[in-house]
Structure 1
Amino acid sequence: MWYNNILETIGNTPLVKLNKVAKDIPATVLAKIETTNPGNSIKDRMALKMIEDAEKSGKLKPGGTIIEGTSGNTGMGLAIAAVIKGYKCIFASTDKQSKEKFDALRAFGAEVVVCPTNVDPEDPRSYYSVSSRLEKEVPNSWKPNQYDNLSNSQANYEQTGPEIWEQTEGKITHLVCGVGTGGTISGSARYLKEKNPNIQVLGIDTYGSVFKKYKETGIFDKNEIYPYITEGIGEDFLPQNVDFNLIDYFEKVTDKDAALMTREIARKEGIFAGNSTGAAVAGLLQMKDRFKEGDVVVVIFPDHGSRYMGKMYNEDWLRDHGFLKDDKLTARDIIAKKESAEIITIDSEKTVIEAINTIKSMNISQIPVTQQGSIIGKITESDILDALLENPALKSQPVQNITTAPFPYVDLNTSIDKISSMINKENIAVLVTDENGNPEIITQYDIINAISA
């Protein structure tokens, strides 16, 4: 058997039991692995449905341009369908999204416009506003508007819900799902609750989003809104696809817990999933008292980990955000293990011959160059040699004439791995400011010494 095109492979994704990450939950926990869709996310389902419905209604005409505000996954689904169906794509997205997502969209020939995250939806710079403006300006264009286009939730009513019902043989008791546009949870929930009204639907929200408070109080509280890191869930407005009547409860998850759980799923279950999956499983564990033996809990795993390589799967990124602290050595540890010695510098007005004498007498190979006490650059043995071979008269001239860019700066919490990767032929050391505000140089020798100490 073969398929006529890649779009026919959308759906029928596997249901996989979670074992290690869900060991403290008495229920059977099953993951709906949406990464097996051709665009590696659940958004393929609704992207194709929105396009097909727009074609039927005449809103999307042959040779047209699809314009959408998307964080990446919906864009991927739209872009794949556009390749097969002959449409162009322009996507507006936010600067908090991972670079990998944008690169993937561009790989399918889409144009991506990156907009600021920390602005109101009504702001002309927001990705909602930019996509709406482009739809008016670009001839023969159509904006799916995944947030308010009910084809989004209908796709999951027709596909995801029935698949879950059949795969669990109707035994599902709880559905756990991150809530962004609301299409996945609302469409799936509508089908499942028609089959069994007692099924509990639990939405995962993030801090900085309005969903949880709105569900519990009916109040849209702008004070709830602030920037957050977690991708794919939460909003600062109420999409029409979010049917609050179908969602029984919202659980909020922190950026840190979502990011770290994303990694745990890969390490404990061998499932390479994205950030909203981490949020969903972290939320599941926070709600463990809601589940009992005999329950069957299905958690939606919406997208693939490959789109988060520069973020949740990057240890330096995690450390920079204060999410990860481990036993690896840092710049602080390397300095502590160094023999205490005052850093040798040379003023930019000193001559090259004075620099040579300093290098010889101090038995060093590089010197930071200062101006009025601040480090402005560096000179190394090779810098001096190259300069003198070209012009021997430089000996009597100021070192600022042969000064090169300063060593890169790192902070005290920078990992030994990152420091080591920064030291190379061009940068034979890095600079760091110690606890007292004094500059320190870290060389390859210092790293070796710290490791072997």
Structure 2
Amino acid sequence: MGGTPVVRLARLVDAGHAEVWVKLEGANPTGSYKDRMALSIIEAAAADGRLRPGQAVVEASVGSTGSALAFVCAATGHPLRVVSSGAAAVEKIRTMRAFGAEVELVPSPYGMTPDLVPAMTRRAAEIAAETGAYLVDQFHNTDMLPGYHRLGAELAAQLPGPAGLDAFCSYVGTAGCFLGATRALRAAYPGLRRVVVEPAESAVLSGGPAGSHQIEGGGIGARPPLLAPADHDEVLAVAEADAFAMARRAAREEGLLCGPSTGANLVAAIRLAARLGPGHRVATVQVDSGLKYLAGPLFAASP
């Protein structure tokens, strides 16, 4: 886990723009940066006794957190229950079950809606209260930050030299990756511009109303509890259609197979590159592998 490669976009970025570098987190065991988060949380809870040997774990997840927790819990001997949703890609649900997790689905025919995550979170808390399972509570759990800090430290080490790094952008759900990575990157590059990415259809951080969208893993309809205004310098809203189109382009033009949230990251990074111009660098992350989305609409659409 970790030690993932970094590649520079070769064809999606126009001449005369800044370089765009992408950390390939799809190379982690379950194909997502959430593996870092899951391991960090489970290890920290076990180390201080909050999680006992063999104790069950429960969490709400509509993204890749459930898959990552299922992997880590299988390896560490903890039964897992996940409250998820029909808004999640079917591959993610099947991965959770393949690792032995028990999955309960909350109906969500309209995708990521403002009331979905609160409903799932309430159900996970009920299960924890009823069974005595350890509740991960990812939106409030700071134990994930060291795992993501390592991601940022790796990225800083992979982009040495006088060019440095001028901006980092990332789509936010819990905001754990954004916070951990930018804190490590700011230590190496004090002038780094920290840019949050969110869906235009639910651009709450940009001052807009909460709404429904299809970009899994973020845009929860509220400010993530761990993300303070001082933690970011800018917010970029990306339309769902643009995120999907960019994910398809990345596969065909760069050989980079990714999901919609990575598509949103790439749209934002390319916008920043156009603004910053030559002689600068922008970095973002491949959130997860596009292999998680082959059964859904992302790659079913015609070119």
What TM-score do the two structures reach when normalised by structure 1? 0.62
Distance 2:47 2:202 in 1: 35
Distance in structure 1 (CA, Å) of the matches to 2:227 and 2:122: 20
Aligned position for 2:158: 167
Query: What is aligned with 2:251?
Result: 266
Q: Deviations over 1:63-89 (max 9, x none)?
A: 111100112411121111111110011
Which residue of structure 1 aligns with residue 215 of structure 2?
230
Structure 2 portions without partners, runs of 5+: none
Please tell me whether residue 116 in structure 1 is matched to residue 111 in structure 2. no
Q: Which AA in structure 2 matches 1:209?
A: S
CA contact (8 A) 1:173 1:199 kept: yes
Question: Aligned residue for 1:47?
Answer: 38
1:36 corresponding residue in structure 2: 27
CA shift at 1:256, angstroms? 0.8
Question: Is 1:142 matched up with 2:127?
Answer: no
Query: Using the alignment, how far apart are the partners of 2:122 and 2:297 within structure 1?
Result: 29
- What is the rounded CA distance, in whole Å, between the counterparts of 2:104 and 2:229 in structure 1? 31
Alignment of 1:200 with 2:193, yes or no, is yes
Q: Deviations over 1:183-233 (max 9, x none)?
A: 00111111211232211111111024354225xxxxxx6xx1111111122
**Alignment-derived partner of residue 305 in structure 1:** 290
- Which stretch shows the higher mean deviation, 228-237 or 13-22? 228-237
- Kindly provide the CA deviation profile for residues 343-369 of structure 1, in whole angstroms up to 9, marking residues without a partner as x: xxxxxxxxxxxxxxxxxxxxxxxxxxx
Matched residue SS, 1:212? coil
User: Residue type of the partner of 2:183?
Assistant: R
Query: 1:156 is matched by which residue type in structure 2?
Result: Y
Cα distance in 1 between the residues matched to 2:204 and 2:275: 20
Identity %: 29
Which residue in 1 is equivalent to 2:8? 17
SS in 1 for 2:229: coil
Question: Counterpart of 1:29 in 2: which secondary structure?
Answer: strand
TM-score by length of 2: 0.92
C-alpha distance in 1 between matches for 2:251 and 2:115: 35
| SS of match in other structure, 2:202 | coil
Structure 1 CA distance, aligned partners of 2:84 and 2:96? 11
* Closer, same or farther: CA 312–177 of 1 in aligned 2, 3 Å: farther
The 8 Å contact of residues 147 and 239 in structure 1, kept in 2 or not, is answered as yes
Give distance in 1, aligned partners of 2:96 and 2:19: 36
> Distance between the aligned counterparts of 2:213 and 2:87, measured in 1?
9
The letter for the 2-side match of 1:271 is L
Gaps of at least 5 residues in structure 1 are 1-9, 215-220, 319-323, 327-453
8 Å CA contact 1:173–1:200 kept in 2: the answer is yes
- Superposed CA RMSD in Å reads 1.9
Deviates more, 1:112-121 or 1:37-46: 112-121
Measure the CA separation in 1 of the matches of 2:297 and 2:254.
16
Q: How does 1:323-342 map to 2 (within 5 A)?
A: none
Structure 1 residue 29: Cα displacement = 1.1
Alpha-carbon shift at residue 287 of structure 1 (Å): 3.6
> How many corresponding residue pairs?
297
Residues 265-414 of structure 1: pairs in structure 2 closer than 5 A: 265-315=250-300, 318=301
> How far off its partner does 1:313 sit?
3.6
Q: Secondary structure at the match of 1:267?
A: helix
Per the alignment, in what secondary structure is the counterpart of residue 22 of structure 2? strand
Q: Output the CA distance in 2 between the equivalents of 1:26 and 1:119.
A: 36
Contact residue 56 and residue 134 of structure 2 kept, 8 A: yes
Structure number with bigger Rg: 1
Aligned 8 A contact 1:72 1:102 in 2: no
